[in-house]
Amino acid sequence: MKRLLRGIALLTAAVSFMTFAAAEDVELTLDDTGIVLEEVSYNSVAWDFPIDLTEMDPELVRLANKEVLLSKDFIPEPLMTIPKRKTDSEGNNINGGMNKASSSEMQLQEECAAALVALMEAALADGQKLYLKSAYRSYRTQNTMYYNRLEKNNGKDDGWVTKPGASDHQTGLGCDVVPGNWRDRGMNEQMAAEEECQWMAANCQDFGFIIRYPEDKEDITQINYEPWHLRYVGVPVATYIMDNGLCLEEFQEQLQSAISQFLLNGGERSLVEAYILTSAENE
């Protein structure tokens, strides 16, 4: 994370004054084994990163954690209300709803919601019944949850409820998805052994999701392993992250350093500006 912050400082120092319109050039060359290599550049400045800017939506790769806070005014849009599950007399889901009929209303960012419907349908076709347990949480809701937890814990932060502004749930792209038989159980790492969770870990990237808090990245994410917490980032980014065994923080570190390099080489700032990490000051 230190390296990441240094990257941000570098970025702030490098300001590009180029005003001409961006032109994306893709150069194809063959390597000696005959594999096509693609080199992408913008106005002749190389974009040296495995994923092209056109395949990465800055809103979808947004980071929220203890060091990069979301503003208390940040609300993802458009938000979509997830239909509550309606079942017929035989218990079949008849409206495509994803959460329990008795649960309170849930919302997710629209593109993420559509991708989650597709993921759940594919899971069901493979015999895996999944439930949406938690979705978008506003800054205010997170704030209430955090201070309730503190109160119950004699004023001590035990790390189980994330501070307001630092929750992936505020992005509207993070959601907790659990196996059918865990709908009413407290969540813990044991869940990872369930077939449904293994299905999610193996297939989520095809729908644009990643496992946001992997088991081997607790020291980086500073969040315990959560096999249930999916995060939508879009298919190209999800594929890259899952194939390379990264967490979102590591992906962002690579991205921010690619941006620094692009700007140092004279790349146009307006092309990458939306991807540059900034932390909100909520106090």
Provide the binding-site residues for Zn ion, judged by CB under 5 A: 176, 229
Decide whether 61 or 64 has the Cβ nearer to Zn ion.
64
273 Rama sector, left if φ>0, alpha if ψ -120 to 50, beta otherwise: alpha
CB contact at 8 A, 175 and 230: yes
Q: What's the min distance (Å) between Cβ of 175 and Zn ion?
A: 7
Closest residue to Zn ion, judged by C-beta, is: 229
Closest distance to Zn ion from the beta carbon of 281 (Å): 25
* DSSP label of 216: G
Residue 202 backbone dihedrals phi, psi, to 5 degrees:
-85, -25
Measured from the CB atom, is 7 or 174 closer to Zn ion?
174
| Closest separation in Å from C-beta 169 to Zn ion | 6
Q: Which is nearer to Zn ion, 62 or 229 (CB)?
A: 229
121 labelled catalytic: no
> Which residue, 187 or 276, is less far from Zn ion as judged by CB?
187
Reported as half-sphere exposure (CB side, CA atoms, 13 A), residue 72 has a value of 10
Supply the minimum distance, in Å, between the C-beta of residue 140 and Zn ion. 17
**Both tokens of residue 126?**
């493979």
Helix (H, G, I), strand (E, B) or coil at 226: coil
- 63 residue type, one letter: L
Using CA of residue 99, residue 200, residue 80, residue 147, what is the dihedral sign?
Answer: positive
Helix (H, G, I), strand (E, B) or coil at 144: helix
Asked if residues 85 and 101 have their Cβ atoms less than 8 Å apart, the reply is yes
CB of 79 to Zn ion, least distance (A): 17
Pick 41 or 141: Cβ nearer Zn ion: 141
Minimum CB separation of residue 176 from Zn ion in Å reads 4
Find the catalytic residue in 226, 249, 253, 268.
Answer: 226
- CB–CB of 261/255 below 8 Å? no
User: C-alpha 50: how far from its chain's center?
Assistant: 18
Would you say 176 or 218 has its CB closer to Zn ion?
176
How would you class 263 by CB atoms within 10 Å of its CB: exposed for 0-12, middle for 13-18, buried for 19 or more? Answer: buried
79: enclosing H helix or E strand: strand 79-82
Say how far residue 190 (Cα) sits from the centre of its chain.
23
Report, as residue numbers or ranges, the catalytic residues.
226
